Amino acid sequence: MSFRDNIRKVVPYTPGEQPKLSKMIKLNTNENPYPPSKEVEKVLQGLDMDRFKLYPDPKIEKLVTAIADNLGVASDKVFVGVGSDDVLAMAFMTFFNSDKPIIFPEVTYSFYDVWADLFKIPYKTFALKDDFSIDVKDFCVDNGGVVLANPNAPTGIYESLEFVEEVLKNNKDSVVIVDEAYIDFGGNSAISLLDRYENLVVVQTFSKSRSMAGMRIGFAVASPELIKAMNDVKYSYNSYTMSYASIEAGTAAVNDKEYFEQTRNKVILTREEAKKELTKRGFTFPDSMTNFIFATHKEKAAADIFEELKKRGIFVRYFNKPGIDNYLRITIGTDEQMKEFFDALDEILA
Q: With respect to ligand PMP, which residue has the nearer C-beta, 333 or 344? A: 333
Report which of 88, 314, 316, 82 is spatially closest to residue 207, judged by C-alpha positions: 82
Q: Which of 28, 207, 231, 251 is the binder for ligand PMP (CB under 6 A)?
A: 207
Asked if 109 interacts with ligand PMP (CB under 6 A), we say: yes
What are residue 103's phi and psi, to 5 degrees? -125, 145
Report which of 347, 293, 263, 324 is spatially closest to residue 32, judged by C-alpha positions: 263
Q: Which of 128, 149, 167, 176 is the binder for ligand PMP (CB under 6 A)?
A: 149
Asked if 132 interacts with ligand PMP (CB under 6 A), we say: no
In whole angstroms, the minimum distance from the beta carbon of 78 to ligand PMP comes to 15
Nearest residue to ligand PMP, scored by beta-carbon proximity: 83
Window 43-82: contact mask with ligand PMP (x via CB under 6 A): ----------------------------------------
For 241, how many CA atoms within 13 A lie in the half-sphere containing its CB? Answer: 26
Asked if 186 interacts with ligand PMP (CB under 6 A), we say: no
Asked if 179 interacts with ligand PMP (CB under 6 A), we say: yes
Which residues partner with 179 through β-bridges? Answer: 149, 203
Secondary structure (3-state) at 147: strand
Asked if 197 interacts with ligand PMP (CB under 6 A), we say: no
Q: With respect to ligand PMP, which residue has the nearer C-beta, 133 or 198? A: 133
In whole angstroms, the minimum distance from the beta carbon of 208 to ligand PMP comes to 7
Q: Which residues contact 251 (CB under 8 A, 6 or more apart)?
A: 43, 62, 63, 66
Q: Which of 33, 36, 56, 83 is the binder for ligand PMP (CB under 6 A)?
A: 83
Q: Which of 143, 199, 205, 296 is the binder for ligand PMP (CB under 6 A)?
A: 205
In whole angstroms, the minimum distance from the beta carbon of 38 to ligand PMP comes to 22
Q: Does residue 28 contact residue 317 with C-beta atoms inside 8 Å?
A: yes
Q: Does residue 24 contact residue 314 with C-beta atoms inside 8 Å?
A: yes
| Count of residues that bind ligand PMP according to CB under 6 A | 12
Q: Does residue 256 contact residue 211 with C-beta atoms inside 8 Å?
A: no
Distance CA 257, CA 89 (A): 28
Report which of 261, 276, 102 is spatially closest to residue 175, judged by C-alpha positions: 102
Q: Which residues contact 8 (CB under 8 A, 6 or more apart)?
A: 118
Asked if 113 interacts with ligand PMP (CB under 6 A), we say: no
Q: Which of 43, 91, 146, 181 is the binder for ligand PMP (CB under 6 A)?
A: 181
Q: Which of 84, 94, 246, 337 is the binder for ligand PMP (CB under 6 A)?
A: 84
Q: List interacting residues with ligand PMP (CB under 6 A).
A: 83-85, 109, 149, 153, 179, 181, 205, 207, 213, 218
